[in-house]
Structures are given as C-alpha cells and as structure tokens.
Structure 1
C-alpha cells in the first residue's frame, strides 16, 4: 500500500487550483494558506464560519478518539473499507475524501487496509480540534479544516467520498466526484444506540435516517444494514460514547446523570451504509 499526497485542492476564495510551495499552499491570484506545524492546512474562510469555533469540541474529539481506537466500531470500518475498495483494480490509484473526517479513524483504517492500491487521501472537517488530532496521529493523508458546503477541492477530482455520520452536501459531492465515482454514506438506523437513548431521554422516537431516494446527480448502487451488539464495561467507554455524540447536548441534565452512574451497558449498533455512484455526465462541474 502506498499513500501519496492529495494535490487537487482548490482555493476557498476563488476556487482555482492551489499549489504547494514549501510550508504553504498558494493559488495563482496570490492567496496563500500556511501549513501548520502539525501538518494540516486551514481552508475555511472566516466569512463561512457560523461561530468562532465550529464543529466538534476538543472534549468530543478526545472522547471519540478513545472510543474508536478501542475498536468498538470496527465492523463499521470493515464494511466501509470493503465498499470503498470494491471494484478497484490492483495497482490502481484511488483518490478519497473523508468529508467530516473527525479525528481521522476511518481514513487511517482505509490506509492500513489498502493492499496493492495507491491511495491519495484527504480528510476534511469543520472542527479544527478534529483535524489537529487527525494530523497528529498520521501524516500520510492531507488534513484540511474546511466545510462540506464549500469543499476546497477541484471539480471531478475524486474517486471516492466517505460521509460517515456526517452532514452530506450532495451538490458539492457531485461537483468534486469523477463521473462513476462513489459516495459511501453511513447513517444511524432507528435502533442505533437505542439502549442508551432509552436511559437519557424520557421518550425514544423510532426514526430511520435511510435515504429514500438517490440524491440528484447520483444513482444508488446498494444499501446495506450493519447491525451488531456491543458491550461496554466500565464507566469510561460509556462516558466517551455519550460525549462523542450529539446526545450529550440533547439530553436533559437528569438524563446525563442517569448515564453517568452506569458501570456497564449492552447496546445495539444499527447503521445503514449507502453506496451511490456519480452519474456519468459532468453536469455539475
């Protein structure tokens, strides 16, 4: 397996190609963006921020890092990797964006399992804390602070996009994927973490987040349910699981208190993995 630099970055201010020059990326009109000493680059213009510190907090990122590195979601990673590499010829180069990469767990898993393939990897997240954590753990992918709503990526430059428990922006995904490229999306199913939700909420809604129709610009290849049981022993992984999800802020104080005293918890993991293919015409480039 070889991981090569991702070079199809676009200037977030004028959308033209960025070229790396030493410790910065620069476009032809003179905009430049420094590469931090940890190895990432900030490509989220201040005018595109909705808050001073958007995205996951440092607490959420640290909790997610501990939880994922413990291997609790390995079956999800395995399913994503298999789907991402399906149909790729041995020795081929695959460019892949993890859109909402968090602290980089799934992209690192993909890099480690790529076999004879050459990968050009880009991890992007709106949280600077997430991108910082990702860059500190692995310097093989390119790591970028940016937004799915305005991807700093050149049109038709990607073979794969991962959007895992994230916020898909389909017009942007269609713009940056090559015709025939694949979007791999993972969303929570209606039973996902139900046992935890029953503890922290007075009422649990049975809602499925399955995408009913293929987004515009795509056709559906397949839909796969990934479902397994998980047992957490000890308070730390339970606390981490709650802290890494939006449930930490949605639950009432009483609900969080009930979760905080748990010493073990058996859970259902229920997610839906969608695979969409970019249509063969470049109508969004």
Structure 2
C-alpha cells in the first residue's frame, strides 16, 4: 500500500526549547546550538548533562535481541492493534497525521503503522528513544522517519505540533505528552496485563509478585476515550529465540543466575501475551 510521507520538522533545541532549523548536515537554533545529523540519518538531541549514565537505555545486545524477536512476528497482533486504533481514532479525522513513538526502540511499531496507513493520509513520523543503539538500528531500516536520540522527560519537540503520541511498553511522561500534542490529539498507551509472559516468569522467578494495579484515572490534561484488552497465545521454538525474548525484557536483569540458567535450558516455550491499550484525548484546556 502506498502513502505520502512528509518529513517531521517541528524539532526543538534540547537546551533552550527554541525551534531548530535544518541546514546542511545539522539542525541549529537561533542561539547557535548545533546538532549534527549522523551518517545513518538520525539526530542526537540528548545533551550529556541530561544523561544519567554514559550509555543510557537498551544496550546493543538488547536491541539486536528485540529486533530478531519482533521480526519473527510474535508481537504482530499488538502492532496491528496499535495501528488500527491510531487509524480509527487519529487518522480518521484528518488528512495529515504527525505521530511520535515515545520510546520507539528499533522502530518496529512505527514501521507497522506506516504499512497500515492508507494513501489518503500524509504521514509524518518521528521516533524517539534514549538508547542510541535502538535509534541507530531504526534509522538503518527506515530513512523516511525522523529518528531522534532523546528523553521522554524533555521531548525535543515544539508545543502542540503532534496529532498522536504512542507510548508502548514505555515510560510515560504525561505532562510532556500533553505539551507536544495539539488540542484533541490522541495518546495511545500500552501496558502489560497480569498474565503477560506468565509462563516465562514462573520459570525464572521463585515466586510471582502480584501485578501492580494500573491507575484508571486519566492523567492530567487528558480524557480517557477508549481502552482495549488484547490477549493471544504464541509458541517459541528453539533456545535462541527464547533467549532473545528474555534478553529484550527487564526480566533479564531482575532474575537470578539460577533463573537465567533455567531459561537457557528451554528449547520450546508456550506463552501468552496480555496487554491493555488505552486511548486518551488531549484536552483543549491542557
């Protein structure tokens, strides 16, 4: 399916919030702060003073594991559900759609969105992640999207310039999402449910802690317009793919060496996925 792709240009300087202008091989604000475009096409808008570590976010190994797992198609139902909700709630009301994936990883979900949006829409996509390895991998796969190394805590995006924000398995900063969304803009937030990857968690942990309760109250500046639960089963064949799943999740670092050994001994694993997708609308008064 063909569609029009428009560049996303409403970038803000991460140091002073001023608009960035694209010129040559860099983006620059009026104050003279300049940010080079990497040879792979992405932009690093995460100043060193905003980092909490030398190399924040997912490691190169985690990104590679996630890429292999996602490309095997096991989470495609999640990607399809996100794309369908975005088209129904966001793209249905406009011919142009500017969408940010806040915590984009290696870009899988934005690529699926691009595949799903019809030719009647002009699509302007921007993916942001704090991991330079994730953004590097995303930029190599899709040169038509604006890829940014940055933080959800300080989105380098001008106020009110987005129609939609995706936060999928991520770390939501609702005040920032409200700032960059236009009035009536859509936030799609996806979180795991109690049974998500339960079979794996029962193997790697000595006991399963109760899942934290999700707050059903809409975040400030938003109204809840819809929520959907998605659950499905899938099976992993081979130790390598099981290892990829564990490596791409926080469970790798939360489990003990004994738990990791039990997972490494597996050659087949039947799993269930459970997620909740909530759609919020940005209030005009935000």
Task: Render the CA deviation track for 1:35-88: whole Å, top value 9, x for unaligned.
Answer: 000000000011110000000000100000000011100000010001111142
Q: Structure 1: which 4+ aligned runs deviate by more than 4 Å?
A: none
Who is 1:255 aligned against? 259
Name the CA distance, whole Å, in 1 between partners of 2:263 and 2:213.
Answer: 24
Who is 1:104 aligned against? 107
Who is 2:235 aligned against? 231
Give the secondary structure class of the aligned counterpart of 1:86.
Answer: helix
Deviation, 1:218, is 0.2
Please, what is the CA RMSD of the aligned residues? 1.1
Deviation, 1:210, is 3.1
Task: Select 1:52's aligned residue among 51, 54, 57.
Answer: 54
Task: Select 2:217's aligned residue among 204, 208, 213.
Answer: 213
Who is 1:264 aligned against? 268
Deviation, 1:232, is 0.5
Q: How does 1:55-204 map to 2 (within 5 A)?
A: 55-87=57-89, 88-89=91-92, 92-116=95-119, 117-204=121-208
Deviation, 1:208, is 4.6
Count of equivalent residues: 282
Contact map agreement 1:91 1:118 (CA 8 A) in 2:
no
| TM-score normalised per structure 2 | 0.97
Structure 2 unmatched runs, 5+ = none
Deviation, 1:128, is 0.3
Contact map agreement 1:191 1:206 (CA 8 A) in 2:
no
Task: Select 1:32's aligned residue among 31, 34, 40.
Answer: 34
Structure 1 unmatched runs, 5+ = none
CA separation of 1:60 and 1:32: change in aligned 2, threshold 3 A? same
Task: Render the CA deviation track for 1:109-160: whole Å, top value 9, x for unaligned.
Answer: 1111111211110000000000000001110100000000000000000000
